[in-house]
Chain A
Amino acid sequence: AQSVTQLDSHVSVSEGTPVLLRCNYSSSYSPSLFWYVQHPNKGLQLLLKYTSAATLVKGINGFEAEFKKSETSFHLTKPSAHMSDAAEYFCVVRGGSYIPTFGRGTSLIVHP
């Protein structure tokens, strides 16, 4: 069985400050992990993915995530938030069954 927990339903930051969106997972197998972003009324877009190569993964738009097996975490970070980063973010796990499981999502709010 596998699961994913996004620890915050909402995260609020000021423009120019760091972003941290937290994700913990559970999987019986070495998982692949993904972060997707969904802007209002837009489709889901892949930000980055981890598939057992480098544990620090760089994605688009300045985002990165670190796979920590000992903590079963895959937190998403960005050094400096931009207004255009305001969106819903989803963490996804795929284990040995290759069936993806989405988290409930974290809404990122960016204040000017």
Chain B
Amino acid sequence: EAGVAQSPRYKIIEKRQSVAFWCNPISGHATLYWYQQILGQGPKLLIQFQNNGVVDDSQLPKDRFSAERLKGVDSTLKIQPAKLEDSAVYLCASSREDSPDYNEQFFGPGTRLTVL
């Protein structure tokens, strides 16, 4: 079974520029998550999708961050414009959720963003 795929793996941009990250979850996983992990901290949930609907986006800075999962499969996360404090690893995860026994998240390798 293929894992969660993310691209790019690394990105360096200057502040005020735009950037987009892509995630392809494990096939058949209904729920997709985007996290921001700042160095030395635990992952912070930015947005959670169930199929193509949003379950929670309470911690997504909506003035600059946006995310979509139009066909209920892969997803993109965009930052426009980027700030220095957006430097972090952006993690994508997915889970089945068809029963309580299948609610663990599987994580991708992450995208390391550096904003200069």
Contact = CB atoms under 8 A, between A and B. Distances in A.
A105 B56 contact: no
Interface string B77-114: 00000000000000101000100110111111110000
A32 B107 contact: no
B55 A43 contact: no
B100 A100 contact: no
A67 to B, nearest CB: 14
B107 A51 contact: no
A52 B101 CA distance: 10
A100 B56 CA distance: 10
Nearest to B50: A98
A102 B44 contact: yes
What 6 pairs across the A-B complex have the smallest Cβ distances? A102-B42, A44-B107, A104-B42, A105-B42, A43-B107, A43-B109
B21 interface: no
B56 A43 contact: no
B13 interface: no
B103 A103 contact: no
